[in-house]
Amino acid sequence: MSTTTDALQAQLLSWRQSFDQSFTEPREKADWGDTWDVLGIRIANEPFALHLDDLAGLLPAMTPAPYPADAAALLGLIGYRGQVLPLYDLRALLGRGASTTPRWWAIVRATPLALAFEGFDGQWRLPPQDRLQQDNAASDSGSDWTVRAGGELRPLIPLAPLVERLTATLAGGRDAASAHPKA
Amino acid sequence: MWTFGRKLTVGFALSFALLLLIGLLSYRGVEVLTNTSYQVTRTHQVLSDIASLMSAMKDAETGQRGFMLTGDETYLDPYRAASTEIPRLLAELRSLIRDNPSQQTRLNQAAVMIDSLMALHKERIEMRRTGSEEATLRQIKTGDGKRRMDELRAIIDQMEQEETDLLRERAREVEATASGVRSAIGWGTAAGLILVLVAALVLNRALSGQVGAAVLHVQRSAAELQAAANQQAAGARETATSMTEISTTISELLATSRQIADSAQRVVQIAEQTASSARGGEGTLQGARDTIAAMRRQIDQVVGHMLDLGQKSQRIGVVLDLVGELAEQTNILAINATIEATVAGDAGRRFGVVADEIRKLADRMTASTKEIRLQIDDVRGAVNTTVMATEAGSKAVDAGARQFDDVAATFARIAGLVVTTTDAAREIELSTKQQATAVEQLNIALSNTAQASRETETSSGQTSQTATELAQTSRQLLSLVQAQSA
């Protein structure tokens, strides 16, 4: 019991020192340099990563408001900071089937929409040696990069092409609806 | 079957008899030869004396004639010598032939003739001295002297012939006696050799046969005796060893008996103490009952505390869930702050650092809550186990309380039985003391037996030594009587 207590005391001390250290470091160190902030997520029990620059927010999943539409990946509508955003299933968008229980929502910065996914592993700031560029054709998620974070290799999901594809699909559907209005 | 001594006696007796016979015969022969030799010597002496007598007579006659022819007195010297010699010779002859009557007769005749002749010579000498030479010559011419001398010669010749015959006869006797002695010595030696050979053969056969067989028998008997003595010595040694071991065992048994007696005595004392303790055990039993009741209450309190502890652990879990939730929300906030800082560009970088530190704290808090959750779960598991164990202990205490009454009853019975045990222990003590005495006597008897065994071993060793010496003597005796068997 005392051994466990000693270990906890030591851990507490190390945390205290780390916390204090963050205040003693010089300002120049605050320059992040060439680092990427990534978010580790889990889709169909497989590790993936999202670039933090592509996102405007992260929040735990709640019950979305259902919205009748033809889009297969659309889960409903959500409210975020006074905005109504469509919620899409990221797994369905990646072509891996529908999510069973999406527990997290990520708000996309470039376009007003939200993506639901199943698991959230953490957030990391990655140096260049943890970023691997790969052949685009080799990835089923259309990713150019793979990152090493949390002890695993994670394909970095590029949200911009995904959003473009979705937008194009929605635009095509809207054009078709306007060309053939229902009676 | 003749004995060896009888054969030796007979052999030596025969040899003795034969030697005695040969000795007797030889002695007798030598005796005869000696006598004959004496007789021959005497005969030769007789012949010599006869010849001397005859010579003296001739000297007397010659002297007488010379005197008569010459009248010279010097011619009478032979006569005078003969006159003194003749009587001595006659006396000597008489003594020599006294065992021969015929020779004595002849000697008497010769003596008469000699006296007659000597008287004639004397007469004529006197005549010559007194008369004339012619008268003397006439007297000679008568021939009376010659006739008387011839007659004497005849008698003397007869005597010589007689003695010569005697010599021949004694030579024959000597020859016969010598032949007998030779025969006796030759045949006796041959018989003695045969007897010695026969005796040697018989004795050799007897020695090598009877004595050899007897010696072999003695040798075998000695070997058997030695083997028996060795066996007896080994048996005695084993017996002595066994006796010593038994004695040691009995000594240990004796010590054990004494220990048993002491133990029995202590058992008696302890049984008496036990009886007194059992009698005074009622108060102790009541105290034990109270102690069990107090234990029951304490166990109930422990159960209550444990249940309380479990509830508190549950509450800690709820609080921990709260903390975990807060940590997660803090984490999300930190991530969102980071996102906002990223959106703000360079201006938001410092804020991003703070947000990052906040996120790290939230991560650590999450990890800590997980660890605390595990600890709490362990505590709750331990509490559950303790509660169950305490419940079992409570039931065991109840069962113990019930069994305690049985123990009290049993104690009462034990108090009764202890009295019986005390009596039995006293009997055991008495019997063990008697047993110890008997074992001491047995030990003394065994010591005596071991001593007797050692003495038997010693005497067996001496017997074995004697048998060895006997066998050695037998071998030596056998080598004496049977050289080839060696």
Q: For B66-92, what is each residue's pLDDT tens digit?
A: 888 888 888 889 888 988 999 999 999
Residues of chain B positioned with their CB less than 8 A from the CB of A122: 363
In the numeric block, which tokens belong to residue B382?
């331990």
> Hey, are the CB atoms on A55 and B359 less than 8 Å from each other?
no
For residues B93 and B46, is the Cβ–Cβ distance under 8 A? yes
- Nearest-CA neighbor of B156 among A47, A17, B164, B205? B164
Hey, how many other C-beta atoms are within 10 angstroms of the C-beta on A53? 14
The mean pLDDT value for B121-129 works out to 86
In A, minimum Cα distance to B362 occurs at A122
Instruction: Kindly provide the b/e burial profile for residues B414-436, where b requires at least 16 CB atoms within 10 angstroms of the residue's own CB.
Output: bbebbeebbeebeebbeebbebb
Whether the per-residue pLDDT at B97 is higher than 50: the answer is yes
Surface-to-core class of residue B125, CB atoms within 10 Å of its CB (0-12 exposed, 13-18 middle, 19+ buried): buried
The answer to whether A58 contacts B350, with C-beta atoms less than 8 Å apart, is no
List of chain A residues whose C-beta atoms are within 8 Å of the C-beta of residue B336:
57-59
> B interface toward A at CB cutoff 8 Å?
328, 332, 334-336, 338-339, 342-343, 349-350, 352-353, 356-357, 359-361, 363-364, 371, 375
Confidence of residue B146 (pLDDT cuts 50, 70, 90): confident
CA distance B389 to chain A (A): 22
Which residue in this structure is represented by tokens 């020599």?
B96
Q: Average pLDDT for residues B154-173, to the nearest whole number?
A: 90
CA distance B3 to B421: 86
Tokens of B79: 């006569």
Separation in Å, CA B335 to CA A120, A122, B328, B349, B365:
12, 9, 11, 13, 15
Q: Indicate the helix (H) or strand (E) that contains A83.
A: strand A83-89
- The predicted model scores a pTM of 0.42
For B147-215, the three-class secondary structure string (H helix, E strand, C coil) is HHHHHHHHHHHHHHHHHHHHHHHHHHHHHHHHHHHHHHHHHHHHHHHHHHHHHHHHHHHHHHHHHHHHH
A34: left (phi over 0), alpha (psi -120 to 50) or beta: beta
Whether ipTM tops 0.90, in short, is no
- pLDDT tens digits for B343-375? 887 788 778 888 888 888 888 888 888 888 888
Comparing CB atoms, the residue among B328, B335, B371 nearest residue A123 is: B335
Minimum Cα–Cα distance from A22: chain B residue: B357
B411, B323 Cβ separation under 8 angstroms = no
Record: contact A39-B361, CB cut-off 8 A: no
Question: Tens digits of per-residue pLDDT, B270-322?
Answer: 878 877 777 777 677 778 878 888 888 888 888 888 889 888 888 888 998 89
d(CA B333, CA B348): 15
Cα of B297 to nearest chain A Cα, Å: 29
Cα of A52 to nearest chain B Cα, Å: 6
Question: Using an 8 Å Cβ cutoff, are B107 and B54 in contact?
Answer: no
Task: Give me the percent of chain B exceeding a pLDDT of 70.
Answer: 99
Host H or E run for residue A77: strand A74-80
Taking residues B148-163, what's their average pLDDT? 90
How many angstroms separate the CA atoms of B486 and B480, rounded? Answer: 9
State whether B350 and A30 contact (CB < 8 Å): yes
pLDDT of residue B233: 84
C-alpha to C-alpha distance for A131 and A140, rounded to whole angstroms: 18
Nearest Cα neighbor of B3 from B178, B160, B211, B146 is: B211
**Minimal C-alpha gap between B392 and chain A (Å):** 27
Say if A126 is an interface residue toward chain B (CB within 8 Å). no
Q: Do B339 and A59 touch (CB under 8 A)?
A: no
Check CB contact under 8 Å for A32 and B343: no
Longest CA–CA separation in chain B, Å = 245
pLDDT at B456: 87
The per-type count for chain B, helices as H runs and strands as E runs, is 8, 0
Q: Which residues pair with A163 in a beta bridge?
A: none
Please tell me the predicted confidence (pLDDT) of residue A86.
Answer: 93
Give A-chain residues touching B350 at CB under 8 angstroms: 30
Q: What is the pLDDT of residues B110-120, one digit of tens each?
A: 899 899 888 88
B52-68 per-position pLDDT tens digit:
999 999 998 888 888 88
pLDDT digits (tens, 9 = 90+) for A77-128: 999 989 999 999 999 988 888 888 899 999 999 889 999 999 998 888 888 8
Cβ–Cβ contact A23 with B under 8 A: no
* DSSP 8-state secondary structure symbol assigned to residue A110: S
Q: What is the pLDDT of residue B425?
A: 82
* pLDDT tens per residue across span B454-475: 888 888 888 888 888 888 888 8
The rounded mean pLDDT for chain A is 83
Mean pLDDT of B175-189: 88
The pLDDT value recorded for residue A43 is 92
Rounded to whole angstroms, what are the CA distances from B56 to A110, A175, B98, B105? 221, 233, 22, 21
Return the bridge partners of A85, or none: A78
Are the CB atoms for B363 and B331 separated by under 8 Å? yes
Rounded CA-CA distance B414/B409 in Å is 9
pLDDT given for residue A183 in this prediction: 34
Q: What is the DSSP string of A4-50?
A: HHHHHHHHHHHHHHHHHHHHHS-GGGG---S-EEEEEEEETTEEEEE
User: pLDDT under 70 in chain A at which residues?
Assistant: 1-2, 26-33, 135-142, 174, 177-183
Span B404-457, pLDDT tens digits? 778 777 777 877 787 788 888 888 888 888 888 888 888 888 888 888 888 888
10 Å CB burial of residue B69 (0-12, 13-18, 19+) is: middle
Task: Give every CB contact of residue B218 below 8 A, 6+ residues apart in sequence.
Answer: B470, B474
Q: Is A66 on the interface with B (CB under 8 A)?
A: no
pLDDT of residue A30: 47
For residue B240, the Cα-to-chain-centroid distance in whole angstroms is 22
Q: Which residues contact A59 (CB under 8 A, 6 or more apart)?
A: A80, A104, A105, A107, B332, B336
* Residue numbers in A near B369 (CB within 8 A): none
Helix axes B76-96, B101-130, angle to 10 degrees: 160
3-state secondary structure of A74: strand
In this complex, do A56 and B332 lie within 8 Å of one another by their Cβ atoms?
no
Separation in Å, CA of A109 to nearest CA in chain B: 9
Please check whether residue B167 is in contact with residue B43, taking contact to mean a CB–CB distance below 8 angstroms: yes
How high is the pLDDT of residue B473? 85
CB-CB under 8 Å, A30 with B335 = no
Angle of the B4-70 helix axis to the B133-141 helix axis, nearest 10? 130
- Which residue's structure tokens are 């103490």? B273
- pLDDT at residue B355, rounded to an integer: 86
Of A22, A31, A60, the CB nearest to B357: A22
Nearest to A52 among B332, B338, B357 (CB): B338
Q: Rounded to whole angstroms, what are the CA distances from B310 to B79, B164, B322?
A: 201, 183, 19
Band the pLDDT of B486: cuts 50, 70, 90. Answer: very low
B334 vs A contacts (CB less than 8 Å) = 123
